[in-house]
């Protein structure tokens, strides 16, 4: 059975690297301000902030790879295996730009999610409200 998990390094344009363990990283491309996904090469700023905001940060890619390697070893023990290993994701934005774009998109996503009736969208709305309060209050 697929674990759909991995260790991910987000590298922003200013060279900042943020390292996380995550499942379902394909959600990084989801946008809830409309009923479709972003283009395949476009990281959703809101999802980037959701996934990577609390991540360890370094400006040295070698250090990021070391941190990712340690995290990979830890998660292999914890989960048996890590399906996608270590993956580098390069953003076309700085972290500050991702934060600014997320701040502008969150109200649009909230508006869309409020119009949806499924439990999934209601949970996503709660998650976005919590993120907004945490980051922009």
What are 72's two structure tokens?
């990979």
Q: Rounded to the nearest 5 degrees, what angle is found at the Cα of 3, between the Cα atoms of 80 and 8?
A: 90
What are 127's two structure tokens?
């998650």
Tallying the residues shown for the chain, one arrives at 137
Q: Other C-beta atoms within 10 Å of 109: how many?
A: 23
Which phi and psi angles does 78 have, rounded to 5°? Answer: -65, -40
Q: Is residue 70 over pLDDT 70?
A: yes
- Enter the pTM of the model: 0.90
Q: Which helix (H) or strand (E) holds 23?
A: strand 17-23
Per-residue pLDDT tens for 77-104? 999 999 999 999 999 999 999 999 999 9
pLDDT of residue 34: 62
């Amino acid at each position: 059975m697929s674990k759909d998990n991995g260790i991910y390094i987000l590298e922003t344009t200013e060279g900042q690297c943020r390292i996380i363990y995550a499942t379902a990283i394909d959600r990084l491309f989801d946008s809830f301000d409309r009923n479709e996904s972003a283009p395949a090469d476009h990281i959703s700023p809101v999802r980037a902030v959701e996934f990577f905001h609390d991540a360890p940060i370094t400006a040295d890619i070698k250090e990021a790879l070391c941190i990712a390697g340690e995290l990979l070893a830890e998660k292999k023990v914890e989960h048996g295996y890590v399906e996608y290993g270590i993956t580098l994701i390069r953003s076309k934005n700085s972290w500050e730009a991702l934060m600014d774009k997320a701040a502008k998109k969150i109200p649009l996503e909230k508006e869309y999610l409020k119009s949806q009736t499924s439990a999934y969208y209601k949970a996503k709305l709660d998650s976005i409200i919590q993120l907004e309060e945490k980051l922009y209050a």
